[in-house]
Amino acid sequence: MDRQLQILTTPGLISIVGWMDGRPAIIPQVQIDAVRMIVEGPHPFEPHPFLNLGDRIRVRSGPLLGVEGILVRKKGMDRLVVSLEMLGRSAAVEIDASDIDRMEPLSH
């Protein structure tokens, strides 16, 4: 606890990355380096929800605005294949990752 207080009072520190139960997370150096490269790099970036295969998504822009589906495949860094249910049939469509939002799982 003393070490945590010392860390939390470090100038420039906002908070400690941790799990939902309050335990601090151990972040591999390679992931820290990757974030640093993105932040310091020349390309613009914005946060985006982490997506897993099987996640329910909703299209937030473009011609499919408002359509809901399930992520079935990732193609590269910024393209996704989403299965959309329409009229009792399913159709797969390739879509930009920036055009969708992850939906909360259905509660039972």
Question: What are the tens digits of pLDDT across the range 81-98?
Answer: 777 776 667 777 888 888
Is a pLDDT exceeding 80 seen at residue 45?
Answer: no
Residue 86's domain is classified under what CATH number? Answer: 2.30.30.30
Same domain, 61 and 36: no
Angstrom distance (rounded) from CA 59 to CA 100? 4
Percentage of residues of the chain with pLDDT beyond 70: 84
Residue 45 placed within a domain: no
**Dihedral angle sign, alpha carbons of residues 21, 22, 28, 34:** positive
Neighbour tally for 103: CB within 10 Å:
14
Same domain, 61 and 96: yes
Residue 72 placed within a domain: yes
Whether the full predicted model's pTM is greater than 0.85, yes or no, is: no
Percentage of residues of the chain with pLDDT beyond 90: 0
Secondary structure E strands in the chain: 56-59, 68-75, 79-86, 89-96, 100-102
- 12 — pLDDT class (breaks 50, 70, 90): confident
Amino acid at 11: P
**78 within 8 A of 96, measured Cβ to Cβ:** yes
Q: Residue 78: its pLDDT value, please?
A: 66
Residues spanned by the domain of 81? 56-102
Torsion angles phi and psi, residue 45, rounded to 5: -145, 160
Angstrom distance (rounded) from CA 103 to CA 31? 25
Amino acid at 7: I
What's the total number of domains in the chain?
2
